[in-house]
Every structure is written in C-alpha cells, then in structure tokens.
Amino acid sequence: MIFKRAIIETMQKRQSVRNFDTKNIDESHVKRIKEYISNEENLVGPFGSKGRIEFIQVTNNVSDKGIKLGTYGFIKNPQAYLAGVAQNSKYSLVEFAYTFQKLVLWLTDLELGTCWMGGTFNRNSFEQEIELEEGNFIPCITPIGYSNQKQRVFDKALRYVVKADNKKPWDKLFYDSTFEVPLNQENAGSLEIPIEMVRIGPSASNKQPWRLLLSSDRKVCHFYIEHTPNYSSKLGYDMQLLDMGIAMCQFEMACKELDIKGRWSVTNPTIQLPNEHTEYIVSWKSL
C-alpha cells in the first residue's frame, strides 16, 4: 500500500462523498482497485481474520449482471461500489472495518470519493450480486467515483443535517488512567496525534462510540466502545463495532507514520467502567 501524500494528511482530508461526477472511473484506477482487493495482505486484520471486498461497476446503479443496486439516501451517480463481506461476530466486524478503512484512505489518496454505508442500502440487492458463503453477510458498502465539484453546497448542507462535522471534544471521548479523569490533549504525550486521528474518524451517524483510556505511563491505550442502546438492532448486527475497527485503523496508521512502535493486544485491564453500555475491545501497547 503506497500513499502519495502523508497518511495523517489523508485522514484530515477525507470526507464522505454522496454526489459523484458522471465520469467513469479511469481504467488505471479500476485496475489498481482490483489488484488491491485481490491481495490477501490488504484484507487481513490485526489479529489475522481475513475479510473480503468485492468491486461492482454500475451504470445508473445497475450492475453488469443487470441487478438494480439500491441505496436509501442521497447517493448520486455512483460509478461503482465496494461491498464488504465478513462474519457476524464481534472481532470479525472490528477487524473487517479496520481493513475497509485502510482501503477508504487509500482511495481518498487516489482522489476517489467514498461514503461508509452500513444501514442505508438495500442489502438484499447486493446479496444477489455477491455469492456469500454460509455464515457471512455484507456489513457495509461504499459507493465510489470522482466527487462532483458542483455539488459542494449540497454536500455541505447535508453534512450539517447529519452533523458530520460536529465531532465530540476530547473530554467526552478520552480518559486519563481512569474514566473519572478526562484526558487533556496536551497531556497525551507522543500519542496525541494518533488519538486525535481517532476523534476525527468517520462513525455511524457520527455517534463516535469509541472511548480511549490512556495509562499513567502513556505506554498503553485501551479502546472501549460505549454502545448506543438499540442502535442498529433491526439490522441484525452491531454496526458500531465497525466504528471501533475504523478507530483502530486511524490510530495505528498515524502511529506508523510517526514511527511510534506498538502492537494490539486483547488484555482487559478490568478498570471500573463508567456505565453498563461501555465494553472493552482492545489495547495498544507501545514497544
């Protein structure tokens, strides 16, 4: 995976694109995307679980198989879709989202627009397009194409409606040694930028369910999810687990760019939780 620009810069640049130009995706980009998703190394999560991503080219939202692929919302003129396939289990979803966000950032670097979609698409139509093995399902898709520059005003208005730019501040998301003490940005040490990249990352309905707790020696960062009660329950899977995979991707890629060495570990520190909705997911340990 090679980026033209700095990864942190790409994270800061990325925005959801819902209005696409009618221009077809360049064949050179199509070739590179297909090569990317066929490379197994790009699809393996931090704990070794491998997901699957399918490229579907469309014309007026109709695939080459003649299947009408439905999306509910404000997606206009997508030139293709990338559909993810994973198992419906906690760490499978987390790892899959980690790999999918890496792909989203890589596409952003190629100047291609994307938009994470977990619930606002017709899952049945995509399941007709993709052969699924037993136990697998499609947790999310993204339309892709080149952003329609003339639709920036519309996109800006839509981002206001969905509160896409209304990110929670540090003291609502990040904690210092205990959940009773908010983490001040200036006290985060070398992990300040990776933690900030978590804060600005995309999440379903911009809920930002991640809660990070930094150890007193600043060498371990624990990742928790604060579940939104009944969120996505009708979909049959916990969509907010995808947000945790996104958070892990943002954090780790920023660490790599800053040459901060570390590794992931599932070792619950048994710290007193702030409420019954909060659940431990994973820890990053600096080396």
49-78 per-position pLDDT tens digit: 999 999 999 999 999 999 999 887 679 999
Task: Please check the confidence at residue 249 and state whether its pLDDT lies above 50.
Answer: yes
166 vs 255, residue with greater confidence: 255
Range with lowest mean pLDDT among 32-41, 65-74, 278-287: 65-74
Same fold, 7-154 and 170-286: yes
Measured between alpha carbons, how far is 124 from 110 in angstroms, rounded to an integer? 30
Return the pLDDT at 162: 47
Contact 182, 176 (CB under 8 A): yes
Task: Tell which residue, 269, 226, 229, 284, has the closest CA to residue 98.
Answer: 284
Both tokens of residue 281? 């997911």
Cα-based angle 29, 35, 41 (whole degrees, multiple of 5): 130
Confidence of residue 151 (pLDDT cuts 50, 70, 90): low
Pairing of β 178-182 and β 174-176? antiparallel
24 vs 161, residue with greater confidence: 24
Task: Please check the confidence at residue 265 and state whether its pLDDT lies above 50.
Answer: yes
- From residue 20, give the alpha-carbon distance in Å to each of 23, 157, 177, 236, 260: 8, 16, 44, 30, 37
Contact 203, 162 (CB under 8 A): no
Residue 121, beta-bridge partner list: 71
Give the predicted TM-score (pTM) of the model.
0.94
Return the pLDDT at 72: 79
- Mean pLDDT (the chain, rounded): 92
CATH topology of domain 170-286: NADH Oxidase (3.40.109)
Tell me which residue has tokens 């939104």: 228
Both tokens of residue 264? 């992931």
Q: Of the CATH numbers 3.10.180.10, 3.40.605.10, 3.90.1150.10, 3.40.109.10, which one belongs to the domain with range 7-154?
A: 3.40.109.10
Alpha-carbon dihedral angle through residues 14, 15, 19, 20, given to the nearest 10 degrees: 0
Task: Please check the confidence at residue 117 and state whether its pLDDT lies above 90.
Answer: yes
- Ranges of each domain in the chain: 7-154, 170-286
